[in-house]
Amino acid sequence: MSEGAYLQTRQLGNSDMNITRLGIGAWAIGGGGWRFAWGPQDDNDSIAAIHKGLDAGMNWIDTAAVYGLGHSEEIVAQALDGMSNKPYVFTKCERRWDTNREIYKSLKASSIREECEASLRRLRVDAIDLYQIHWPEPDDDIEEGWDTLARLKEEGKVRWIGVSNFSVEQMKRITSIAPITSLQPPYSILSPEIEESILPYCAENDIGVIVYSPMKSGMLTGKMTRERVAAMRMTTSGNEPQLFRNRS
């Protein structure tokens, strides 16, 4: 497939957004100092990388509040400052952090509303183009969380709503509340599990799919070495090697 083919656009699910087949993922630009970080990043380099992607024709950026504990969203805003023709900006909720920078999970209505307002401020936008539930956790609260996203859409704070890391069963539980615009699952040649039931379900129900880790966190780039893996092990803040964390 030619490079130009990657920048052709496709309609995202039931939305009015036509997005390029490649977009800009903003996990790493959250920098270091938080659990699941990729390590320290130079903010100027991050901004330059975003500009490079946009100059190449990509028209969307996917970030999350938890990336860098708000820092990624702030860097995205800095990169887009002053642009007249801005890309679509996608972000996520559900992963929060306390005063000790410890990450926790919440899908309660009041929590999501707080997250949304904070993301709007950090991103410096009037409305988020696509707002996604990052993880279906706690499972018992996914209906409350999805209902809250639907209400935020009605209020104009977000334009479209989606989910990430949901199973078919979990998507079925929330469709009666509001249509799902998109799903964001992991997918690569080494992790093809969504082909069995998730991709067919999304195709049948007009749910767009934005995959993450298509290069399996660097393993499929041809540039991963034992030395790089060892360095990543040294920068991880938990017990599991950073390279192999389940990431979105």
Catalytic residues: 67
Residues in Cβ contact with 148 at an 8 Å cutoff, skipping those fewer than 6 apart: 107, 109, 112, 113
| Burial state string for 225-240 with b = 16 or more CB within 10 A and e = fewer than 16 | eeeeeeebeeebeeee
**Amino acid letter for position 10:** R
End-to-end Cα distance, the chain: 25
**Cβ atoms 159, 127 nearer than 8 A:** yes
Q: Which of 120, 205, 121 is nearest to 159 (CA)?
A: 120
As a whole number of angstroms, the distance between CA 159 and CA 19 comes to 15
Tell me how crowded residue 101 is: count the other CB atoms within 10 A of its CB. 10
Closest to 105 in 3D by CA, of 114, 97, 113? 97
Distance CA 163, CA 93 (A): 10
Token reading at 52: 């490079």
